[in-house]
Structure 1
Amino acid sequence: MARPNEEVEALLREYADLIAITGGDAFKVRAYEKAARAIGGHPEDISRLDADGLRDIPNVGRSIAEKVVEYLRTGTVSVVEERRSRIPAGVRELVAIPTLGPKKALRLYEDLHISSVDELAAAIEADALHDLKGFGEKTQENILHGIALLRQAGGRIPLHLAMDAAEDIVAELSEVKGCRRCTYAGSLRRMKETIGDIDILVAAARSAPFMDALAALPSTAEVIAHGAKKRSVRTTKGVQVDLRVLPPVSWGAGLQYFTGSKAHNIRTRTIAVRQGLKLSEYGLFDVDSGTSVASRSEEDVYARLGLPWIPPTLREDRGEIDAALRGELPELVTERDIRGDLHTHTDLTDGLAPLETMVTAAAERGYAYYAVTDHAPNLYMQRMTDEKILAQRERVRALDGAHRGMRLLHGTELNIDPEGEVDWPDEFLAGFDLCVASLHSHFDLDRKAMTRRLVRACENPHVHVIGHPTTRLIGKRPEVDADWDEVFAACARTGTALEINSQPDRLDLCDEDILRARQYGAKFAVNTDAHSVLHLACLRFGVGTAQRGWLTPKDVVNTWPLSRLRRFLRKDGSV
């Protein structure tokens, strides 16, 4: 079950959709969308706030706060129920179809009672729209094409797939003659866990060569929009890519503008207006004279606004502007800060590579230390035994320091059973350098039982890290239902680190959970959970997620020197 913040976020987003579909005011739609984002990203449990406390959240005004209070008190909101009664939920599916907006979706429902993508496709195939004004042959053809693309794309793009596609395109366009700068922007640059579309920016004097080059890429399936400075294409995998070519002098302003988020940009534009300036993708201009006062670099733009440069991963309007104004932006953790990986697997269990191969690859990444943590016996399909794990320990000890001086830790990934117990007795667990404990089954326990289960694991003196804590799989499995505030407090109290699992289908903890856990003083471990050599490179996604959670090196235990890490692993408060 989602926590109250997420429930309310979903409710407000739904209400915004319903307003749009029923022809409501666009300003009102945007207001509810912004409030939904703010509540979803708020670190505190909103169920503990009254109306005044809710109004302290950015973009939450009196009317919205009253609706949230009503929902938290009754489980429903009367105005949402009224809108729902006017139109089936399936109509909202229609709005997601490219070229079909809210007005056309509403016409289809009111005139033909069409309330789903499948019904619309069937109606077009049956020629049921031929008498409907505004739905001529070409429009119907476009809608069918949009439906096919929607089904092909399957929604938002996972971060790693979007990154792969973007980096390939950037590499290709960077080779085009006249390219001064080229990079990706948007939510991808902000390292969001899923991406709606890919924004690519180029700085060049002429745009045409880059527009042509993008259209000619083997990965491009079709050009869907084009203009003098912008071209949009759909890739063979159904991903939309938007290319914008900027004058080199406008590079910094354009990069800031197209990185977003929208909410962050609204705040920066507001600051500009207060200073008699206008901020756009082309620069920061004096309103009276029209003179450009900053544009070449993001640093210049932010400095002219009286701000330090703000890392893209913070640009979500979650307090970064105010922190910047106070000079309190965090020095975010980076990949360079990570001294070692504390959760990895070999082919002794479900990994793909042998111990020596994984160790060699880790050493090549420049790690100071590296933990091997194969699965314990209660994950029965892995067939672990005492003899196997002890034999591995001997091999680990023999390899310790043999690869570029990298120190090895012998660990295991334990299974947290429904009662919070883990594999092996205390005396056996005491022989490991490091124990990661994770949920691998019984995901449907009720909140009280799940919370007790996780807290008990934290209280185990041999458990050092809670692996992929919520067990979510992005787009496939929701997080387990637990009182996370109680779990996070237990981690801080017991000196148990929370993992930020870098696998791109997990990214668990997510940024919002990190923000909450950080308030309790919990520590974190950014690990790859690598099951192959290639997985070691996923660290970048975990670090990006950690940055979105405002973490610094002092918050992340595997940025610490080995001597300090070993003190932390004693769980006696001696760090």
Structure 2
Amino acid sequence: MRANDEVGALLEEYADLLAITGAEDFKVRVYEKAARSVGGYAADIARLDDAGLRGIPNVGRSIAAKIEEYLATGAIHRLEELRTEVPAGVRRLTLVPTLGPKKAMVLYQERGIDSVEALAAAIDEGRLHGLHGFGSRTEENLRHGIEILHKAGQRVPLGAAMEVADAVVAEIAAAGGCERCAFAGSLRRMKDTVGDVDVLATSDRAPALMAAFTRLPLVDQVIATGDTKTSVRTAAGLQVDLRVVPPEDWGAALQYFTGSRAHNIRTREIAVHRGLKLSEYGLFDVESGAKIASLTEEDVYARLGLPWIPPTLREDTGEIEAALAGTLPDLVTEADLRGDLHTHTDLTDGLAGLEEMAAAAAARGHDYYAVTDHAPALAMQRMTDEKMLAQRARVRELDGAYGGMRLLHGTELNIDPDGGVDWPPDFLAGFDLCVASVHSHFEQPREEMTRRLVRACENPYVKILGHPSGRVIGQRPPVEADWDEVFAACARTGTALEIDSFPDRLDLSAEHVRRARNHGVRFAIDSDAHAVPHLPYLRYGVGTAQRGWLTADEVINTWPLDRLTGFLKADS
């Protein structure tokens, strides 16, 4: 984990503990903003001096001193003091959706509730009755929030697991004697959340690889170790398993440890019908016992009478049937993306300026790049017409200045409870594109939410419906809507549905993508970047798109600029 991420997490904890212990709201917000700024800062903070740290947005003298203290000693003294004042379980209570820090402290002080389990028991026993601010509706919301938290369990977001896996694979691949190394499992299938990380390697020096694995800086605990498999746990609690297999069995092992249980059952059934036996060691002839395929995944699938099936499809959701029929889709890839159509700058809640974000986007090889800062209805961002017009003028000045990359000026509009958006038509007409998203009133009844989303799609200036379900994985469920009606409206109005690549959103989900695809909807895979390090999040959106069976032509930001701009101008 980068020092930026470590310190960002500590500052976020500091903010939570301040809020729980009753600190002034402004002070809490200072640390929340600093946490986001440090976590999203492009440079490695471990290499910065005091002046460099204070050059990070929202980091002043006091916070810089705390960061320096942590980098020098591995701890922040005042944070340690706050931890002694607040039981760890009370902070975990704040992870329950709809339960904020102040209410968590009320529960602790008034009812002695110091864990999520204790809260669930208190609700069941009626011990919240009579507590100010905790009526029957609040109890219902808390019960639902606890269910969401429990469903998330010990699984971690895709992005966090990928960061660990990338680091492990890089270290093991560089270790002496390693021939090949890759991650497998649900991570390779790009699932929204991951229970553990499976890493495979080939080597004739397995003990040396295992020893190198257990010495990695991210390892907090060695769970078990052996000649062919070792399991460790990181400080964040994520289990990582390393398996070392013979080079000749690489393909069979990768196929076996990548597919879901249901997918693997189907492939083994196919093997049985062909008089074969499939395992992580290879594909064998049952009668003779001879190994007939194991070196590559392609070999294994081919001997089963199947084409190679992309990892993101290996869930037994129709991929076997499509493979047998020769109708597997040619899935969109990250290399197909020509641009990013939903990003933010420090004009609203981003952490970097327009020039820095544009330069970073150009460095990623984009042909076009859209800046879409928040509109004024999201009051906390303090957007005004004047600010937006000034940004537009600057975007026009910089257009083409970064290796010829086309800069598009857009906005992320707020869909109000009735389906309206921030600006009138004459103002919206000046934007190159408008993304419209739900940022409030997530609890609207199903019929009202459906009408709200459909009306937004019917606005001729809205070209992308941003993070359509509003979900935050493990924290907020998708809004309730008649999704088929919404998808049909998007197809009818020519509104693209976004796949927001932020790892805690991945919205639309793969399941919704597949449903929407059946309506003939177009999609946009966007980073929703609020800082330079967020721009690579597109890989996660692409993974979700692949799980939704999308091809490149169905994604508008794979299109050449002229085709894209034609789409954005249609009917507006």
Return the TM-score normalized by structure 2: 0.73
Partner of 2:36: none
Match of 1:324? Answer: 323
Q: Which residue of 1 aligns with 2:285?
A: 286
1:496 and 1:571 in contact (8 A); partners too: no
**2:530 counterpart SS class:** coil
Alignment correspondent of 1:520 = 519
Cα deviation digits, residues 323-369 of structure 1 (max 9, x gap): 01111111111111001100011111111111111111111111111
* Paired position in structure 2 for 1:495: 494
CA distance in 1, matches of 2:344, 2:158: 23
Q: Find out whether 1:227 has 2:214 as its counterpart.
A: no
- The offset of 1:208, in angstroms, is 1.1
Q: Distance in 2 between matches of 1:377 and 1:493?
A: 28
Contact 1:464 1:571 survives alignment (8 Å): no
Corresponding position of 2:268 = 269
Matches within 5 A, 1:413-562: 413-562=412-561
**1:172 and 1:228 mapped to 2: Cα distance?**
18
Distance 1:168 1:267, change over 3 A: same
Cα distance between partner residues in 1 of 2:221 and 2:520: 50
8 A contact 1:295–1:301 mirrored in 2 = yes
- Offset at 1:170? 1.0
Q: Secondary structure at the match of 1:569?
A: helix
Residues 477-514 of structure 1 show CA distances to partners (whole Å, capped at 9, x for unaligned) of: 01111111110110011100000000001000010110
1:307-456 correspondence to structure 2 within 5 Å: 307-456=306-455
Q: Partner amino acid for 1:244?
A: R
Q: For 1:545 and 1:118, how far apart are their aligned partners in 2?
A: 33
Q: Deviations over 1:366-388 (max 9, x none)?
A: 11111111111111111111111
Q: Residues 129-170 of structure 1, C-alpha deviation per residue, up to 9 Å, x if partnerless?
A: xxxxxxxxxxxxxxxxxxxxx99x961011111111111111
Q: How many angstroms apart in 2 are the aligned matches of 1:367 and 1:516?
A: 29
Spell out structure 1 runs of 4+ moving beyond 2 A. 116-119, 225-228, 570-573
Deviation at 1:192, TM superposition (A): 0.4
Runs of at least 5 residues in structure 2 that lack an aligned partner in the other structure: 1-114, 119-148
Q: Which amino acid aligns with 2:483?
A: W
Which whole-Å deviations, capped at 9, do the CAs of 1:290-338 have from their partners, x for residues lacking one? 1111110101111111111111001000100110111111111111100
The residue number in structure 1 matching 2:195 is 196
Cα distance between partner residues in 2 of 1:571 and 1:319 = 35
Question: 2:244 maps to which residue?
Answer: 245
Q: State the distance in 2 between where 1:469 and 1:351 align.
A: 21
How far off its partner does 1:402 sit? Answer: 1.2
Rounded Cα–Cα distance in structure 2 between residues aligned with 1:502 and 1:476: 17
Q: Which has the larger displacement, 187-196 or 202-211?
A: 202-211
Alignment-derived partner of residue 12 in structure 2: none
Query: May I ask how many residue pairs the two structures share in their alignment?
Result: 427
Deviation at 1:409, TM superposition (A): 1.0
3-state secondary structure, aligned to 2:549: coil
Take 1:118 and 1:382, find their aligned partners in 2: how far apart are those partners? 37
Cα deviation, residue 220, structure 1: 1.6
| 1:470 alignment partner AA | S
What CA distance in whole angstroms lies between the structure 1 residues aligned with 2:225 and 2:289? 29
3-state secondary structure, aligned to 2:351: coil
Normalising by structure 1, we get a TM-score of 0.73
User: Deviation per CA, 1:507-543, whole angstroms, max 9, x where unpaired?
Assistant: 0001011011111111100001111111101010011
Q: Which amino acid aligns with 1:445?
A: Q
Say whether the 8 Å CA contact 1:494–1:571 is kept in structure 2: no
Question: SS of the counterpart of 1:180?
Answer: strand
- Give the secondary structure class of the aligned counterpart of 2:199: strand
Q: CA deviation at 1:180?
A: 0.9
Measure the CA separation in 1 of the matches of 2:315 and 2:496: 26
Q: Per the alignment, do residues 409 and 180 of structure 1 end up closer, same or farther by CA in structure 2, a change over 3 Å counting?
A: same
2:272 aligned counterpart, secondary structure: helix
2-side partners of 1:371 and 1:507: how far apart? Answer: 19
Residues 503 and 540 of structure 2 are in contact (CA less than 8 Å); yes or no, is this contact kept in structure 1?
yes
Matched residue type, 1:270: E
Identity of matched residues, %: 69
CA distance in 2 between partners of 1:362 and 1:473 (Å) = 25
Query: Residues 383-403 of structure 1: CA distance to partner in whole angstroms, max 9, x if unpaired?
Result: 111111111111111111111
Residues 388-437 of structure 1 show CA distances to partners (whole Å, capped at 9, x for unaligned) of 11111111111111111111111111010011000111111111110000
Unpaired runs of 5+ in structure 1? Answer: 1-115, 120-149
Q: Secondary structure at the match of 2:243?
A: strand
Matching residue's letter, 1:435: C
Q: Are the aligned partners of 2:468 and 2:507 in contact in 1 as well (CA < 8 Å)?
A: yes
Question: Aligned partners of 2:404, 2:218: CA distance in 1, in Å?
Answer: 43
Aligned residue number for residue 21 of structure 2? none
Match of 2:458, as an amino acid?
E
Do the aligned residues in 2 keep the contact of 1:170 with 1:184 (CA within 8 Å)?
Answer: yes
Deviation at 1:118, TM superposition (A): 6.5
C-alpha contact 2:252 2:283 (8 A) present in aligned 1 = yes
Residue 117 of structure 1 and its aligned partner are, at CA, apart by 10
Q: 2-side partners of 1:396 and 1:531: how far apart?
A: 17
Checking the alignment, whether the CA contact within 8 Å between 2:464 and 2:498 is kept in structure 1 is yes
